[in-house]
Amino acid sequence: MEGNLIGEDCKVSRRATSVPYEQFEESLFDQIKREIREAKDKSSKLWYEWVCRSDPYGFYYSSKSLVKWSDSRELLASFLKLKIDKVYIYGDKNSEIPILKLIRDKVRTISNSGHFMMLNDAG
> Do 17 and 60 form a contact (C-beta atoms < 8 A)?
yes
Predicted local confidence at residue 1, as pLDDT = 64
Residue 34: is its pLDDT beyond 90? yes
Q: How confident is the model at residue 122 (pLDDT cuts 50, 70, 90)?
A: very low
Residue 100 CB neighbours (<10 A) = 16
pTM of the model: 0.83
Mean residue pLDDT of the chain comes to 90
Predicted local confidence at residue 55, as pLDDT = 97
Between 71 and 116, residue with greater pLDDT: 71
Residue 77: is its pLDDT beyond 50? yes
